[in-house]
Amino acid sequence: MPRPRPLASEQLGRAFSVAEALRCGVPASRLRRGDLISPFRGVRLAIADDGWQPRCAAYATRMPATVVFSHVTAARLWLMPLPQHHREDERMHVTAVAARAPRGRGVVGHTTTRNPPTETIGALRATSPARTWADLSTVLTVDELVIIGDALVGLPVSISTCSELAQAVHEHAGRRGSAALHEAMPLIRVGSRSPRESRARLAIVRAGLPEPEVNGEIVLPRRIVHGDLVFRSWRVVVEYEGDQHRTDAWQWAHDLERYNDLAEAGWLLIRASRFLPDADLASRARRALRVRGWTG
């Protein structure tokens, strides 16, 4: 069988609607060839580009101006640290404004009576980070909302602010999930670099320990460093080490210098990996704080 004739990418792109292709003179028979798939009704996508983000672009070709990506799909577009099962959700979550919720194969439709705040990610329209976070309150736990909230206002780049999150909580009042948002909002902190730090901070506070500073600045005689979780009054710091700290020779040497400088300056260091349970970390932090005179 002869290979299908390539489609004109400058006309149609990698994802396109059937109606658009027909207007460009593509024969209907060409749209049924094996190098194309139909992820959604009335849409074609080159099979070589089959993946989650290309599927978003494919669905966007049929989205009216009053519909935007939202909920889990918007969260994935914003690269929010979702739980694993949500990161694997291949369905398109979309919201229609003052219209019937979209339906179809692989589509989860939502509707709202008010225009949600939206932004563009590449060429895709999605609810804003703060609005997306609020919409997730129906499917996430309080701790998961805190972890994502920390990430939105965290480091190295924040894509939202605490005031924007607070406004989203206010606008969500009375809706399903509002109680979880009200519980999560006061627990969000600026400066977190990872979900692991957020989970550990929550575990430490719930264990009755003082709340540590997140990525607090520590002035040492030879340098200024930032500790992941800093108990400043007791000169105790928790440092998380990902696998790159072990496999990257420069990072390993740099870490050793930092740890030595912290020790020389009288700081007690707790080194943690992702394999250390939060409860064990809280216990270690408790012992370290008591060694340093904490009496709680």
Angle at 52 between CA 47 and CA 56, to 5 degrees: 95
| Predicted local distance difference test score (pLDDT) of residue 9 | 47
| Predicted local distance difference test score (pLDDT) of residue 247 | 66
| Predicted local distance difference test score (pLDDT) of residue 11 | 44
**If phi over 0 gives left and psi between -120 and 50 gives alpha, with beta otherwise, what is residue 155?**
beta
Q: Position 276: which residue type?
A: L
| Predicted local distance difference test score (pLDDT) of residue 253 | 81
Helical packing angle, 142-152 and 195-206, nearest 10°: 130
**DSSP secondary structure letters along 108-176:** EEEEESSPPPEEEETTEEEE-HHHHHHHGGGTS-HHHHHHHHHHHT-SS--SS-HHHHHHHHHHTTTST
Helix (H, G, I), strand (E, B) or coil at 59: helix
Q: From CA 93, how far away is CA 90, in angstroms rounded?
A: 9
> Residue 278: which of 270, 267, 268 has the closest Cα?
270
| Predicted local distance difference test score (pLDDT) of residue 55 | 80
Phi, psi of 26 (to 5 degrees): -75, 125
- The mean pLDDT value of the chain amounts to 87
| Predicted local distance difference test score (pLDDT) of residue 295 | 93
241-255: per-residue pLDDT in tens? 865 556 667 777 877
Q: Where in the chain is the domain with CATH 3.40.960?
A: 195-291
Phi, psi of 154 (to 5 degrees): -95, -160
User: Which residues does the chain have with pLDDT short of 70?
Assistant: 1-14, 33-35, 37-38, 40, 45-51, 242-248
Which fold, 195-291? Answer: Endonuclease; Chain A (3.40.960)
> Residue 19: which of 51, 1, 42 has the closest Cα?
42
133-180: per-residue pLDDT in tens? 999 999 999 999 999 999 999 988 899 999 999 999 999 999 999 999
| Predicted local distance difference test score (pLDDT) of residue 6 | 56
pTM (predicted TM-score): 0.82
| Predicted local distance difference test score (pLDDT) of residue 10 | 43
| Predicted local distance difference test score (pLDDT) of residue 1 | 43
